[in-house]
Amino acid sequence: MITSAQVDQLVDLAMECELTDPIDWGLLSITENQAYQMMASSILDQFEGVKQEEQLMIAMATMTKLLVENFILNLKLKGAENVLKGK
**For the whole prediction, is pTM greater than 0.85?**
no
Domain edges within the chain: 1-49, 51-87
Top pLDDT among 56 and 85 is at 56
What pLDDT is attached to residue 2? 82
At residue 86 the predicted structure's pLDDT band, cuts being 50, 70 and 90, is low
In tens, the pLDDT along 19-76 reads 776 778 888 899 989 999 999 999 898 888 999 889 888 888 888 888 888 888 888 8
List CB contacts of 84: < 8 A, sequence separation 6 or more.
none
Question: Can you tell me the distance from the alpha carbon of 39 to that of 7, in angstroms, rounded to the nearest whole number?
Answer: 9
Following CA atoms 70, 71, 73, 78 in sequence, which dihedral angle do they give, to the nearest 10 degrees?
Answer: 140
